[in-house]
Structure 1
Amino acid sequence: MMKIMEGGCQCGRVRYGAQVDNDEAYLCHCRMCQRATGGVSIAFKNLPKAAVQWTDAPPDWYQSSPIARRPFCAHCGTSLGFAFVDGENMDLTVGSFDDPAYFRPSHHFGAESLHEAWLDTSALPRYRCDEHKGLVERWMKSVGKIPD
C-alpha cells in the first residue's frame, strides 16, 4: 500500500515527503558509504526519484564520485541519501525519516566491506540516554528538557 512518509535533516532546514510502497530497506557496507557517513554501514530506502518531493529547502548535493552524488544539509551535516547521476531511483537514509521504525532490513549491499562484528550486537549491554546522568543534566541546563 502506497503511503507518504516524511523526513528531513537534524536542523529541520531540509524536509521531504516520499511515496513509499513497502517497508523494505537495506544496509550498504561499501567503503564509499562508510566514508560518506562515518559509519560502518548506512541504512537506505530505495525509491524512484519521482517519488521524493523536497518540501522546504532543497538539499545540497555532493558529487561523491564520477557516477553518483549525495544529498545532505550543509547547515547541520545530515546525510540524506545517495543517487546515481543517470539513474531513475535514489536512496534516502532510513534514519532521516520521521518514522524510521517503519522499515526493516531486507538485504546487505557492499558485502565485500562488511564488518561482521557490527552485525549482531544483541548480546552487548544497552544504555538509555535518559538514564545517563551527565547527558540529562546537560540537556536540562541547556533547554529544560530531554530531546525526543
Structure 2
Amino acid sequence: MATLAAHSGGCQCGAVRYRAAGPLAYPHLCHCRMCQKAAGNYFMPLAAAQRSEFMLTRGEPTWFHSSDLVRRGFCGTCGTPLFYDSAESDSLNIVLGSLDEPNSVKPVMQSNTGRKMIWFHELDGLPIEPEAETPDRENAIAASNQQHPDHDTANWPSGASHE
C-alpha cells in the first residue's frame, strides 16, 4: 500500500530538509536491533520514496554504513535519523517521524518482530499524566524553541542559512 503524494520533512534543527514528490511505499515499523540502535528507540518507522521523486531541499545528511549493504542518513548537526539507504534499490527509505506531517502515513506492516518489545501490548493500559508541563515551563520552552517548524522555510534559523 502506498500513501498519498508529496511529503516533505527534515531534521529537528532544520539543517537537512527533503521532499518526496510521489507516494511513499511500504510504510512499516522495523523492530530489528540495528534500527533500534539507529533510532535510539524501540523501533524505526520507515517508508520508501522512489529516488527519481526524491530530493534534498536543504543541506546534506551525514551517512553511517551500518552494514556492507545499508547506510543510514542523519543530521550531522542535531543527530535526527532521516534515511535508510540500500544502494541496489531504486528507492530510499525515509524515517517517518521526520516527516512534517507524520500522521499522514500509517504503517501497514511490521518487520523483524523477533526483537519487538514483549510489553508493547500493555502501553494503552499505562496511566496518562494529567499535565505534561506547567504553563510557565511550556511558555519558557516556546520562547526558546530552536526546533525547525514542520514546513519548509527559506532560511533557518531566522536570518541565517544552513545551506
Distance change in 2, residues 1:120/1:23 (3 Å): farther
Among 35, 38, 46, the residue aligned to 1:33: 35
One-letter amino acid matched to 1:53: M
Paired letter, 2:48: N
Instruction: Give 4+ residue runs of structure 1 displaced > 6 Å after superposition.
Output: 145-148
Match of 2:93, as an amino acid?
A: D
Structure 1 residue 20: Cα displacement: 3.5
SS at match of 1:86: coil
SS at match of 1:98: coil
Contact 1:23/1:104, CA 8 A, preserved across alignment: no
The two structures, once aligned, show a CA RMSD in angstroms of 2.5
TM-score between the two structures when normalised by the length of structure 2? 0.77
In 2, the alpha carbon distance for the partners of 1:119 and 1:76 equals 32
1:4–1:142 CA distance, 2 compared to 1 (3 A)? closer
Matched-pair identity in %: 28
Q: Is the 8 A contact 1:8 1:80 kept in 2?
A: yes
Question: Greater strand share, 1 or 2?
Answer: 1
Segments of 5+ residues of structure 1 without an aligned counterpart are: none
**8 Å Cα contact 1:2/1:21 also seen in 2:** yes
Segments of 5+ residues of structure 2 without an aligned counterpart are 150-163
Q: Structure 1 residue 139: deviation in Å? A: 4.8
> Normalising to structure 1: TM-score of the pair?
0.84
Residues 120/80 of structure 1: CA separation in 2 closer, same or farther (3 Å cut) = farther
**What is residue 50 of structure 1 aligned with on the other side?**
52
Alignment partner for residue 103 of structure 1, among 85, 91, 105? 105
Matching residue of 1:125 = 127
The secondary structure found in structure 2 opposite 1:3 is coil
